[in-house]
Amino acid sequence: MTASARESDRPRFDWLLALAVVAMLATFVRVAYFTPVEARQGLAQKIFYLHVPTAFIALYVAFAIVGLTSAMYLWLRDERLDRIAASAAEVGVVYMAVVLLTGPMWAKPIWGTWWTWDARLTLTLFAWFVFLGYLILRGAIEDESTRSRYSAVLGILGTLLVPFIHLSVYLFRTLHPMPILLKPSRPSLPNDMLLTFGMAFVALTLLFVALIRIRYRLAVTLDALGHEEAAEEARVGTLRPHPIR
């Protein structure tokens, strides 16, 4: 216990994070200087390279991780699985927030409105609420095993929910045709734009995994600290004699 806590105290070079940062910087340079400006939408369109991959990763990758690790936790009861789920949910919340912020940033200069109820943005909004609920649930439970169990149940149900929201939102859109405000995720892009998109996707995925790993390590340290405190309390507790009647 204490050994692993000390281990993560030692400053250790996070090569994954470094790689992710380098990839992000490279992508930024490419987006800003080496990718052509889109004809109709102008400069604002470049937010697309951040907005779309982030949405994909948050909605599908994050939920897949949370759903899978939650199911496996209920089966194996390994607390590491619970920590991965919690870390993925937290990073997922951040990524979704990025999507929800870049959406308006993209929409306003082009179409004059801050918020568009387009399918992907709406889906992200509801998925964000699910993840927020997940984190709030975790915060409301003191006992570890209850927290892990309840989170796992919510994680699985939330993952089941996403396709239903997807269906509802997209059905709403097809029946209430709105102008196609944001380009679909796999448009017919010219090659150099496609390459930039691919770079952005890889960089954001690397960053996602790096952040999860950092969050996971933090969880390990916090858990270890919590257990040391509890053990100390328990030791002190049993020394006190108890009167009998």
Partner 1 sequence: MIVRTPPGILAAAALIARKDLAIEFRTRSAFLAALTFSLVAIAIFYFAWDATAVGAVDLAPGVLWVIFTFSGLLGLHRSFGVEEADRAIDALLASPIDREAVFLGKAFANLAFVLGVQAVAIPAVALFYNLPLTRVLLPLTAIAVLAAIGLVSVGTLFSAMASNTRLAELLLPVLALPFFVPIVMPAAQVTARLLQGRPISEAMSWLRILIAFDIVFVVACALAFPFTLED
Partner 2 sequence: MSRAATPAEPTRDHVLAPTPAATSALIAIEAAGLSRSFGRRVVLRDLTFQVRDGECLALFGPNGAGKTTLLRVIAGLLRPTRGTAKVAGVNLPGGAEARSVVGLISHQTMLYSALSALENVEFAAKLYGVASPRAAAMRALERIRLADRASSPVRSLSRGMQQRVSIARAIVHDPRVVLLDEPYTGLDEAGAVALTDALETLKSAGAALMLVTHHLSEGLALATHTAIMRDGRFVQHDARGDVAVEAYRDLYREAVMG
Among 20, 85, 152, 193, binds partner 1 (CB under 8 A): 152
Whichever of 30 and 173 has its CB closer to partner 1, that residue is 173
234 binding partner 1? (CB under 8 A): no
- Alpha helix stretches (DSSP H) within the chain: 2-9, 15-29, 48-56, 63-76, 79-111, 119-139, 144-175, 191-239
Do 74 and 152 contact (CB within 8 A), yes or no? yes
Would you say 2 or 146 has its CB closer to partner 1? Answer: 146
Listed residue (114, 120, 105, 107) closest to 52, CA to CA: 120
Per-residue tokens: 174: 């097809």
**Residues 206/26, Cβ–Cβ less than 8 Å:** no
Token digits of residue 121:
């943005």
- Cβ 124 to partner 2 shortest distance, Å: 35
Q: Give which of partner 2, partner 1, none residue 238 binds (C-beta under 5 to 8 Å, depending on kind).
A: partner 2
**Type of residue at 127:** A
Please give the residue ranges that form the binding site for partner 2 (CB under 8 A).
79, 143-145, 227, 230, 234, 237-238, 241-242, 244-245
Closer to partner 1 by Cβ: residue 65 or 123: 123
Map the footprint of partner 1 across residues 168-187, applying CB under 8 A. Answer: 168, 171-172, 175
* 48 contacts 106 by C-beta, under 8 angstroms: yes
Site of interaction with partner 1 (CB under 8 A):
74, 126, 129-130, 132-133, 136-137, 140-142, 145-146, 149-150, 152-154, 156-158, 160-161, 164-165, 167-168, 171-172, 175
